[in-house]
Structure 1
Amino acid sequence: MLKNRMSKEQYGIVKAWESKVRKSQQAVVAKKRTNSLFTTMSVAPADDDPGEIFHAEKVISNGDFYTGQWADNLPHGHGKYLWTDGCMYVGEWYKGKTTGKGKFSWPSGATYEGEFKNGFMDGKGTYTGSLGDTYRGYWVRNFKQGQGIKSYSNGDYYEGDWNRGLQDGHGRYQWKNGTHYVGQWRNGLIDGCGTMVWSNGDRYDGSWEENLPKGNGTFKWADGNFYVGTWSKDPKEQNGTYYYQSGSSGESDFDPNEVYMEYLNDFKISSCEKIPVFPSQKVIPWSANESDFLQKQPIFRRGNDSSGKPRRTSVDGRVSNYCRESPTDSSDGIEGYGNSELQSCRGYKQKPFSLQPVKKQGLTIAKGHKNYELMLNLQLGIRHSVGRPAPTTSLDLRSSAFDPKEKVWTKFPPEGSKYTPPHQSCDFRWKDYCPVVFRSLRKLFKVDPADYMLSICGNDALRELSSPGKSGSFFYLTNDDRYMIKTMKKAEVKVLLRMLPAYYKHVRAFENTLVTKFYGLHCVKLTGATQKKVRFVIMGNLFCSEYHIHRRFDLKGSSHGRLTDKPEAEIDATTTLKDLDLNYIFRLHNVWFQDFCRQVDKDCDFLEQERIMDYSLLVGLHFQEASYQEPLTPEEQAAGINTPPGYFLASRFGDLDNQANPCTSRADIDQLISDPTRLASVRLGISMPARAERTARRTDYETQLVGEPTGELYDIILFFGIIDILQDYDISKKLEHAYKSFQYDPTSISAVDPKQYAKRFRDFIFRIFVEDT
């Protein structure tokens, strides 16, 4: 026994250390315990594996104590280290460095349990402070970095992005009384665009700077009245207009300083508890004197374990004697390592492709851009249309509201007029098509007028997508990604106006319809010699989400010309792939699958009745638990430092501590469906947890539109909707069908009769979307 192998004095020192650490842990008030569910994934041994592995018990020259696995005069494998100051580490080691899964304890009672790399807290882990604060999420070289959740001892919490230990990026902070902020952060401060909602229902949406409103913003009271204007703590820079719930402007005694003096005075951002000393700062003076060992017992030698079987090490060098067989024990941290032996481990799913950080699409329309004045005209027009006084109407509209001649022209001279403000753009005229109908549609789609105005007309410019669509239309995105603006041909405007009564009836009858949501139809006409008209429609952006979309597909069910003509190396998260690029089938929970089938049938019937064809199902995939590795700097390469994760994507569904299995089980999704609070943000086609199964085609693409299932499953968040619904089967499409039918299989081309198109579309969709059994 240990006591017999060491002196009474040494034994007493070790037991005193252990007792001191144990008592300090028990003294922490309200400390939150977290379960460690980490696992190890094994790979083939490397050439630089250590030699003989021992179990050692060693008193270090400075009085520290180590017990655990030992190789080449260094800790290697699993072991425990006790420092004389009361700190303790229990976990995995690699060549004398804390590397792998482990737990570090401070004498104050604080603990960190999670992943280590080369002595640093690096990867996924949980820190619990001595005062009860906790942080669960990702770390890079001792700093909170990536996605994480911070719970403060005073009851506040923050969930979102971190950078070098501070809130930075997008996140949500909630105070103990229920007031919360959702939006952008910079260096630990509220900075950028965001929304603050007070517990009484009042809210502010707009720009922030250093925890205070600054720039364009809207303050909305719980009763529906709102104030739109420019915000600043300096009263000289304040300017705005008060609106009633109906949208009409009026006089008010509201003073913006009330927000600064009263609303924000009691809401401060809690500071993070300082870590007393980082594990990487704990110097360990290893020595190789045989006399220092209290015990040294061989475990196995290089290349074989005690049973004579080949030994393996983990991807970061940790010792492991077996390949885990249970699917629930598969590792979720193996991105960037490729080895054919991994395929033999049941439950391991290779990453579908190399995931890169997703950047915002499009080019910001700044001053000097060719469409800068057009953007200003559009924003002026939208502000006028939405803010114009209008009587409160019910959703039951008269037929006259749908009359194509029901439109309103407004002149916008640069010097301003009785109804329009002065502006710095060119002279133009603004047209609203069927304004009552689209106002009712926005109400039906639960779009807040102030939010809508702020998204399109706020401080931030629109972004123009890099290339126009196949139709020649241009696309613009609002800065918050909520809305997409598309320029339209006159023929498309006519189609939308013709089908508007049926469209309104359909979206009102089916709340979960998958067809595109239209919020407004407008026209800008430049005055002068050019008399140029630009018609455009405002639509919802299907991919506006806190999830990054890693793959997107435009699916029609046809095969001719439905392969992306892009080299594999150039395909990224912004590339829209087509039918013959699709290499997955999507498995939906039975509740959602039944709803999905019914809604696809209803939407296809509607489009067929309106003689619409050539539409698509736009599908976006977010692969859960994906990570991306940044390249090393030359200095880091020279120092032998591992590549730190620079970008993390974490699942919103499920605990950060409980995601060892890369695939969500049916039981997990069953639990999600039965939990109303978690289900609230999930709708048909929006943020739907599902599973994607990889498929493989034969070499003859043209004869196999859907590949054969391979059994490889991935946990995904799914987005989908039916787009491009403004193409009717007109004479040009009939001629296109006749011409291409001579050259290709008539069933493979896109331009077919609406009835045939709907049948083919449905058949294809129901082959790639299946019930998860």
Structure 2
Amino acid sequence: MNELTDTLNILSLEDWNATATGVLSHIKNPIQNTFFTSNSDLIGKTLRQSIVYFAETLNTVDQSSCILGNEFRSARTHKYKSLRSPDEKTSETTTPIEITTYAPIAFEYIRTIIGITANDFQSSFECGELISFVNTGRSGSQMYKTQDDTYIIKTLRDHEAKLLIRILAGLYLHYSHKSSLMTRYVGLYSVNMCSIVSSEIYCVIMLNNLPSILNIHELYDLKGSSVGRHSSIDLPIKRLKALKDLDFELFYPYGIRIPSDIYRRLKLTLESDICELRKLMITDFSLMLGVYQLDESIQKTENNEKTSKLKPKPQLGISALFAAITIEQTAFESNNFDETNKTSNVSNTKLIKKFIMKPLHLIACSQENTFTH
């Protein structure tokens, strides 16, 4: 990949027409998704290298040139000429690509207040190529995750990316409060392959709330509605990762019991987050709930995964999911610590230490008081 040059800009969103931009982005979205899918590997490789480059040069370029007060409106574009693979049937040998980082200093502030060091952030993108995976939502967004499972990268529509920039200062203030379960956005970029019409694609970096190391058995996307809130996926093993409100009511007809201290802190935190979202004029949001079944982690399933049936369950506690202090024990208690898996266990322990979204910490609940009974 041949590097060319950088361009610094100040964003101007005052004259942005939200309605017009929203309609246009909905029209462009299917075209962009098709383009993204066919160029996923190239985009992922270019994006990862650019994120590392922007992180390395943040202090020397952005910090030294940004005027005080413009931290939330600055942008820097890096231009590349990417070599095409030899088997492509085209007369062009290179593809001009522009990668833009938005509000890089502001996002560095955000990463700092939520406990991400510059070295940790950069190392997550240096440890290997991004992994593309399927998004089970209706948005059609394309998804990547880092090799260490710490970050998720998701494509955004144009109006969604611009909205994120507009509310970024408000999110920064809210993230400063420890008691919040809101998604932590830690970077925003765009990829523009200049030889393709309407190919600019926005990508946001988020902290992974439920990394695979936790081995969550059920994942719910809860909106507090019953309209269309039933999983349409047929295979049970896949459906368990894309459950909705009506599925939750079916599997837990009596709800889920949790310790009273956690309940009170969780309720206060969610009410605070919802109030903040309303202030930011955001009304479409979900509560992502992961359930780790202790009994399922130690029992051997007799039925094949494809033929196993989902059954309603009694009231169950989810202390293990909230117990940040015992995550490592929960993740490894079923492993046999013999010579063959020592290396794997050491690696997993390092990944657990990078897991920042520990629910007990996020709702400011003292685990010492909660789990002593």
Same fold (TM over 0.5): yes
Helix, strand or coil at the partner of 2:70 = helix
Q: TM-score, normalised by structure 2?
A: 0.63
Amino acid at match of 1:372: D
Cα distance in 2 for partners of 1:443, 1:514 equals 17
Does structure 2 retain, via aligned residues, the 8 Å contact 1:552–1:619?
yes
- What's 2:190 paired with? 523
Which of 100, 103, 106 is equivalent to 1:431? 100
Residue 592 and residue 399 in structure 1: after superposition, are their counterparts in 2 closer, same or farther (change >3 A)?
farther
Does structure 2 retain, via aligned residues, the 8 Å contact 1:473–1:486?
yes
Helix, strand or coil at the partner of 2:182 = coil
- What's 2:244 paired with? 578
Cα distance in 1 for partners of 2:331, 2:214 equals 14
- What's 1:596 paired with? 266
Residue 426 and residue 574 in structure 1: after superposition, are their counterparts in 2 closer, same or farther (change >3 A)?
farther
Which of 617, 621, 625 is equivalent to 2:291? 621
Task: State the shift of 1:594 in Å.
Answer: 2.1
Task: State the shift of 1:683 in Å.
Answer: 2.3
Deviations 1:290-340 (A, max 9, x none): xxxxxxxxxxxxxxxxxxxxxxxxxxxxxxxxxxxxxxxxxxxxxxxxxxx
Helix, strand or coil at the partner of 1:565 = coil
Q: Is 1:371 aligned to residue 40 of structure 2?
A: yes
Task: State the shift of 1:566 in Å.
Answer: 3.1
Amino acid at match of 2:130: L
- What's 1:609 paired with? 279
After TM superposition, the runs of 4+ consecutive aligned structure 1 residues lying more than 6 A away are: 654-657
Residue 471 and residue 535 in structure 1: after superposition, are their counterparts in 2 closer, same or farther (change >3 A)?
same
Residue 524 and residue 370 in structure 1: after superposition, are their counterparts in 2 closer, same or farther (change >3 A)?
closer
- What's 1:497 paired with? 165
Does structure 1 retain, via aligned residues, the 8 Å contact 2:231–2:239?
no
Cα distance in 2 for partners of 1:547, 1:484 equals 16
Helix, strand or coil at the partner of 1:652 = helix
Unpaired runs of 5+ residues, structure 2, are: 1-36, 84-92, 305-326, 335-356, 368-372
Amino acid at match of 1:445: I
Q: TM-score, normalised by structure 1?
A: 0.32
Does structure 2 retain, via aligned residues, the 8 Å contact 1:549–1:573?
no
Q: Is 1:652 aligned to residue 329 of structure 2?
A: yes
Helix, strand or coil at the partner of 1:516 = coil
- The count of aligned residue pairs is 269
Does structure 2 retain, via aligned residues, the 8 Å contact 1:592–1:684?
no
Does structure 1 retain, via aligned residues, the 8 Å contact 2:136–2:242?
no
Cα distance in 2 for partners of 1:484, 1:429 equals 21
Task: State the shift of 1:577 in Å.
Answer: 0.6
Q: Is 1:488 aligned to residue 156 of structure 2?
A: yes
Helix, strand or coil at the partner of 2:71 = helix
Report matched runs for 1:235-314 at 5 Å: none
- What's 1:385 paired with? 54
Cα distance in 1 for partners of 2:142, 2:152 equals 10
Does structure 1 retain, via aligned residues, the 8 Å contact 2:97–2:191?
yes
Amino acid at match of 2:111: R
Amino acid at match of 2:229: R
Does structure 1 retain, via aligned residues, the 8 Å contact 2:58–2:105?
no
Cα distance in 1 for partners of 2:212, 2:233 equals 27
Which of 345, 360, 365 is equivalent to 1:683? 360
Does structure 2 retain, via aligned residues, the 8 Å contact 1:376–1:425?
no
Helix, strand or coil at the partner of 1:437 = helix
Query: Higher helix fraction: Structure 1 or Structure 2?
Result: 2
Cα distance in 2 for partners of 1:463, 1:432 equals 21
Does structure 2 retain, via aligned residues, the 8 Å contact 1:475–1:487?
yes
Amino acid at match of 2:54: S
Cα distance in 1 for partners of 2:210, 2:366 equals 15
Task: State the shift of 1:447 in Å.
Answer: 1.4
Amino acid at match of 1:559: S
Q: Is 1:558 aligned to residue 225 of structure 2?
A: yes
Q: Is 1:534 aligned to residue 206 of structure 2?
A: no
Helix, strand or coil at the partner of 1:532 = coil
Residue 451 and residue 573 in structure 1: after superposition, are their counterparts in 2 closer, same or farther (change >3 A)?
farther
Cα distance in 2 for partners of 1:425, 1:588 equals 57
Amino acid at match of 2:283: M
Helix, strand or coil at the partner of 2:256 = strand
Does structure 2 retain, via aligned residues, the 8 Å contact 1:489–1:535?
yes
Helix, strand or coil at the partner of 2:216 = coil
Amino acid at match of 1:437: A
- What's 1:445 paired with? 114
- What's 1:335 paired with? none
Deviations 1:658-713 (A, max 9, x none): xxxxxxxxxxxxxxxxxxxxxx9662569x999xxxxxxxxxxxxxxxxxxxxxxx
Amino acid at match of 2:256: F
Structure number with greater CO (CA < 8 Å, separation at least 6) is: 2
Q: Is 1:413 aligned to residue 85 of structure 2?
A: no
Which of 370, 387, 402 is equivalent to 2:72? 402
Task: State the shift of 1:467 in Å.
Answer: 4.5
Cα distance in 1 for partners of 2:80, 2:333 equals 53
- What's 1:469 paired with? 137
- What's 1:307 paired with? none
Which of 208, 215, 228 is equivalent to 1:548? 215
Helix, strand or coil at the partner of 1:506 = helix
Residue 414 and residue 614 in structure 1: after superposition, are their counterparts in 2 closer, same or farther (change >3 A)?
closer
Residue 485 and residue 656 in structure 1: after superposition, are their counterparts in 2 closer, same or farther (change >3 A)?
closer
Cα distance in 2 for partners of 1:453, 1:600 equals 31
Residue 549 and residue 653 in structure 1: after superposition, are their counterparts in 2 closer, same or farther (change >3 A)?
closer
Cα distance in 1 for partners of 2:262, 2:115 equals 23
Cα distance in 1 for partners of 2:360, 2:135 equals 31
Identity of matched residues, %: 25
Amino acid at match of 1:469: G
Query: Higher strand fraction: Structure 1 or Structure 2?
Result: 1
Does structure 1 retain, via aligned residues, the 8 Å contact 2:217–2:241?
no
Residue 380 and residue 525 in structure 1: after superposition, are their counterparts in 2 closer, same or farther (change >3 A)?
same
Residue 503 and residue 467 in structure 1: after superposition, are their counterparts in 2 closer, same or farther (change >3 A)?
closer
Residue 431 and residue 587 in structure 1: after superposition, are their counterparts in 2 closer, same or farther (change >3 A)?
same
Task: State the shift of 1:528 in Å.
Answer: 2.5
